[in-house]
Each structure stands twice: as structure tokens, then as C-alpha cells.
Chains A and B, each alone.
Chain A
Amino acid sequence: MNLSYRIYHVFVRNLISYKRFVLTTFLVSLVQPLFYLITFGIGMGAYMTGAFGGKSYLHFLVPGVIVSSVMMSATFECLYGTFVKMIHERLYDALVATPVSAEDAVAGDIAWASFRGLISGSLMLLVAAVMGILPVSPASVVLLVLVMLITGVMFGSLGMIVTSLAPNFDFFNYYTELVITPMLFFSGVFFPLDNFPAWMKTLAQFLPLTHAVAISRAAFSGVFTSGLLLNFAVVLVLVTIAFYFGIRRMKKRLIK
């Protein structure tokens, strides 16, 4: 891994280019999760009173929707965003001819994807706050930001692995439809995993989003159990593996 502080230079490049897209992406980042909150949270939630410890369904839903919006933003950034830069704009070719290494360039884009995820998640947090749903304390806001950043790096890195293998845009459909969408339903975002058969619960433990959702939910409920440490440990292990392979695979594609 030939990583250096130049990751930051790549991040700044993305930040400068972002100002041209900032409005549209803000809108896109907001609309889908907002749609979930309104339809599931308010519409469906009305039929589920009393099921969530006396609180409304929205209280259950918000922490999950926040991290899943981080997942979506980071994923799309490292799929379509990176693919365009790599194949259509040939920007990576120009980058690696400077002292920026291929590893720096890819890591810079993962860092950027994580930041984009943080923006999406924070926008959701803002909407939730307006609806009266807030993390329990300033410390749990810090925890939430941390889990959003880690989730961003996680799905940015996984996206890089997919992009490193992609011959064209269509290839991304397999990943989004077969991995990301199911992840959304099996990670306890919309409903608790309690009523799943045992094997499904076991399967869910291997999904990175499950653990991110659990941590996010603790930040809102204020219930910190020892299980949370396990969630953190799993997320950190998975993010390390994903980051390592994301960069390695991409380097293989970029440097021939």
C-alpha cells in the first residue's frame, strides 16, 4: 500500500469539482430517504403503534434510514462517479503520472465517497430533527457522525471492488440489485430482525449494514449494551478488509 497525505489533494480535487453538482446531489440525497420516512414512517407507522416500546415507528426507522442513505451515496459515488473518472474522463491516468500514487487516488475517492455519505446522512438527520427525532446527547451525535464516516468508507471501498471488475455501467445493476437492495431489507433498517428464522439472523450478522444500523440506533435510543462493542469490532474488521481489497483491486486495474 503506497499511501500518503496526497489522499487529501485528491479529496480537495473532488471538493472543487463538487460545487457544480452540489444542488442536484443534495436533492437526490434527500428525496429517497425522505420518501422512506414519509411512506413507511408516517403512512405505515400509523398501523404499528405500541410495537416499538411505546414510541412511534419513526423512532425506529430514522437511525436505519440515516445509515442506509450513507450507504447509497457512498456506493453510487464509487460506482458511477469513479467509473466515469476512470474510463470516460481518463482522470486516473493523469493522476498517477504525478506524485499521487494509484493508492492515493483511489483512497482519496473513497474518502470523498465517505464525505458524500456524511452529507446525505446529515441532511436526513436534519429532517429527522425537524420531525422531533434526535440523538440522545451531543456525545451520541459524535458517535453517529463516526458511524456515518465508517459506513461511507465501507461502502465506498466495496463499490471500488465492484468498479475494479466492471466492464461497463450495466454491470453495476447486479451489485445494486443483488447486494445493496437486499442489504437494505435484511439489516434491520425497516423492521427488527427478531422474527426472522435463526439462519436469516445469522446471515444478517455478516452484513456490514446490520452493525452500522445497530450502532446508529443506540445513538438515538441511548441504550448502550456490550453488544455494541461487538458491532463496532465487526464494522472495523469489515471496513479494513474492504478498504484493503478495494484499493488493491483498483490498482490492478489502473496500473498495467
Chain B
Amino acid sequence: MSTLVSAHALTKKYGTFTAVDGIDFEISEGECFGFLGPNGAGKTTTVRMIHCVSPVTSGTLIVDGLPASVNNRALKKKTGVIPQEITLDIDLTVYENLVVFARFFDIPKREARARIAELLKFVELEAKRDSKIDQLSTGMKRRLLIARALLNRPKLIIADEPTTGLDPQARHLIWQRLRQLKTQGVTLILTTQYMEEAQQLCDRLVVMYQGKILKAGEPRGLIESEIGKDVAEIRVPADQDARLIADLSPFACGHERVGDTLYFYSRDGHDLRKRLVELDLPNTVHRPATLEDVFLKLTGRSLIE
């Protein structure tokens, strides 16, 4: 697969504050690539540079063979952006929002009309065609943002925290639509702080923290290399740690205490689970490891091994 986006020593500074600190990554055509990280990690700043609305301070950023820059209309023409904030035009109806944006991309009127009908169907907003924006729910607004981002049949779609503030139904509908786009061969760049979202959608991802990339890889691979397969959470007072660690360490690849909980990580959960059942401890959860564990380990706590 050919490379669509490549960044080398990419840096963004606002005055003396470094938002993105010399990162490197490559995104292949047709994949879903995730930027994962807490608020202020530099995810949004990075994707804003990719879709040419924020100038690069230093380093190189090549998108589809062209250097990304604020004046690069050619790149903006083939990129669709689903922004984090709801930037719909509240003075216009649903339909007018799409008509006006189609104009911005110089899409001929007749083609725009057909495309808008098709997209309203895709995001299930046909019934809201003539509604004003303030009559829409947050989920509908987000769906309209997706339709707007697809008007120009983009080669690259950037979704910046596309499901923030949505209820589960609305979130799943958006995930389905994004996956559907991927099957059509579109390249998708996603930023999120929801681990489940990253696991659902991303082929590969990077974990960002304080402007740097901490780890890169496939979601499964990252979980297995950083955490293992399973996690046991045991809510016990700290004075019992020594006893439990001595007892369970042979079955685990790592452990740590955070607040009121003692965590054990294991590569083969079978023996650990068996031992836990034998011990019959109260307040114990045994579950598969998730990206969230990776994330918390990388950005918050360190394993004691």
C-alpha cells in the first residue's frame, strides 16, 4: 500500500508552548489511523496541520505527495473534515448547509443536488432536510457534519473526536458509517480519547502524550506487548498487597496498585483465573486487557515488574 501521509520531526509551537514535539509517522492509503491521547496531547493540532488549517512550525509533512500548508487548496479539495466542535451554519437549514458547502468545493449545482440527496440518506437525515440546525439533536448534528465532510468525495477523511458527547446508539451509528467509508477505500484519520472507539475503528494507532508519540502499532499488538491478554482488578486494602503479590505473581507478567485497586496483568489468563477462583477474593474482576489499560500505563502509571 502506498503512503498517503508522512511526517518527519513534525513540530508545532504556539509561542513558547510546544504542542507537537518532533513526531514521525506514516499513514498508508486505505487504512484507518488513530491518534489516541488525553486532552491537550497534541492530537487535534497534528490533524489540523494535516488538513492544512494550521501551519507547520518545523519538520516535514507530506500529504498525497504535496507539502501540507495553509495555502494548499489542492489538498483541501480532496480532504473531508469532521470537526470536533459543531461548526454547522446555524443560520441555514440542513439542506442549505450542504448546498453552501458544495459551492465552496466548486461542485456543479446538479451534481451537488444528487450528492446531497445521497448523503442525507447515508446519514439518515432525509426527514430533517428542511429543519433548522437548532432543531437537531447532537447526534443528528454530528451526522450532518459527516455528510458535509463527504460532499467532495474526499480521498482522506479526518475525524476529530467524532463521537464526543453522544449517546451509545448515536455513537454506534457513527462508527458503522465510518467503517462503511473504509470499505469504500477511503483513508481515515481519527483522533479520540475513547479507547473503545480506537479499538473499533483503527487498523493502526499512535498514543500521544504531551506532544510526543509514546507508542505506535496495531491495537491488538499494542495491548499484547504492553499489557498481556488479561487483567485482574482486586479491590483490597493496601496492607494485603505483599501477600497477594507473592501468591499471584507466578501467574502474572506484571502488577501495580492504583488507588484502592491492585491490578495484575497476564499473558495467559487461564492460570491466573484458576488461582483467583481458588483464593475466592471479594471485589475481584477478571477481564480481557483493553487499549485503556495500555493508555493508562503509558500516560499515567508505570508497571512494577
Interface residues of A (CB under 8 A from B): 2, 4, 6, 9, 12-13, 16-17, 20, 89-91, 93-102, 255-256
Contact = CB atoms under 8 A, between A and B. Distances in A.
27 contacts: A2-B71, A12-B100, A12-B103, A13-B89, A13-B103, A16-B96, A16-B99, A17-B92, A89-B87, A90-B83, A90-B85, A94-B88, A97-B52, A98-B76, A98-B101, A98-B152, A99-B73, A99-B76, A99-B104, A100-B104, A101-B70, A102-B70, A255-B53, A255-B55, A255-B70, A256-B14, A256-B54
Nearest to B96: A16
Interface in B36-70: 51-55, 70
Given A12-B103, A99-B76, A99-B77, 13 more contacts: A6-B104, A13-B89, A13-B100, A17-B91, A17-B96, A89-B90, A90-B87, A94-B89, A97-B51, A98-B104, A98-B105, A99-B105, A101-B71
Q: Which of B70, B73, B104 is packed against the most chain A CB atoms within 10 Å?
A: B104
Contacts of B81: 97
A93 B51 CA distance: 12
B216 to A, nearest CB: 26
A20 B73 contact: no
Contacts of A17: 89, 91-92, 96
B241 interface: no
B118 interface: no
Contacts of A91: 87, 89
A101 B73 contact: yes
Contacts of B92: 13, 16-17
Given A97-B53, A99-B76, A255-B53, A9 B90 contact: no
A96 B100 contact: no
Contacts of B55: 255
B247 interface: no
B106 interface: yes
B104 A255 contact: no
A205 to B, nearest CB: 38
Interface of B: 14, 51-55, 70-71, 73, 76-77, 79, 81, 83, 85-92, 96, 99-101, 103-106, 148, 152
A19 to B, nearest CB: 9
B42 to A, nearest CB: 14
A96 B53 contact: yes
Among all A-B residue pairs, the 9 with the closest Cβ atoms = A17-B91, A94-B87, A98-B104, A99-B73, A90-B87, A97-B81, A9-B103, A13-B100, A100-B104
Contacts of B87: 89-91, 93-94
A100 B152 CA distance: 13
Contacts of B103: 9, 12-13
A93 B103 CA distance: 16
Contacts of B152: 98
Nearest to A88: B90
Contacts of A13: 89, 92, 100, 103
A98 B99 CA distance: 13
A9 B91 contact: no
Contacts of A256: 14, 54
A95 B104 contact: yes
B211 to A, nearest CB: 16
A6 B55 CA distance: 21
A61 to B, nearest CB: 35
Nearest to B87: A94
Nearest to B100: A13
Contacts of B83: 90, 93-94, 97
A91 B148 CA distance: 13
B158 to A, nearest CB: 9
A46 B89 CA distance: 50
A106 to B, nearest CB: 14
